[in-house]
Amino acid sequence: MLRDGPTGDWIGTFMGHKGAVWSAKLSKDASKAVTASADFTAKVWDTYTGDVLYSYSHGHIVRSADISDDGTRIISGGQEKKLRIFDLNKPENAAMETEGHDSTIKSVIWDGERNVVLSAGDDKEIRFNQINTFKAEHPITSMELSADGKYITSTAGK
């Protein structure tokens, strides 16, 4: 059920999950919603029509999901103890997966400003996961971080 934040008035209902919904988050422009459910799916919804845009199956209960600032990727986590990142521009592609938690992931947050995903769970850990990688044309030979932490300098090649 979607409600107006300030008033609590009912706006609409998203029909499609077959189990409890553990989390729901809106995109920055409020055009999409992402939900995580006990029915082993994370779903992306069109908030104007209530239609399911994408449904992503998981191997177990999905406890939390979030959507990137630009609305093109979602992240999910749950009882599988792994994070999954789905590219909404390429919905047919398999998810990028990261393992690392020792127990159920209870909460995920997409921090677009810092390009990290935060996850927390029953293992009492909060993890910061970098989501962007840079590929060089040749093997990387060294790397330095600027004193203010804003820049990375690397060398690559023979």
Domain spans of the chain? 2-132
Instruction: Give 59-109 pLDDT, tens digit per residue.
Output: 999 999 999 999 999 999 999 999 999 999 998 888 888 877 899 999 999
Rounded mean pLDDT of the chain? 88
2-132 is a CATH 3.40.50.720 domain:
no
Question: Could you give the C-alpha distances from 152 to 74, 97, 140, 148, in angstroms and in order?
Answer: 27, 25, 12, 10
Tokens of 154: 């690397």
Q: Whole-angstrom distance between the N-terminal and C-terminal Cα of the chain?
A: 58
Instruction: Give 12-36 pLDDT, tens digit per residue.
Output: 778 889 999 999 999 999 999 999 9
Residue among 46, 113, 47, 117 at smallest CA distance from 76: 117
Percent of the chain residues topping a pLDDT of 90: 54
Q: Are 116 and 108 in contact (CB under 8 A)?
A: no
pTM value surpassing 0.85: no
Out of 4-13, 70-79, 129-138, least confident range: 129-138
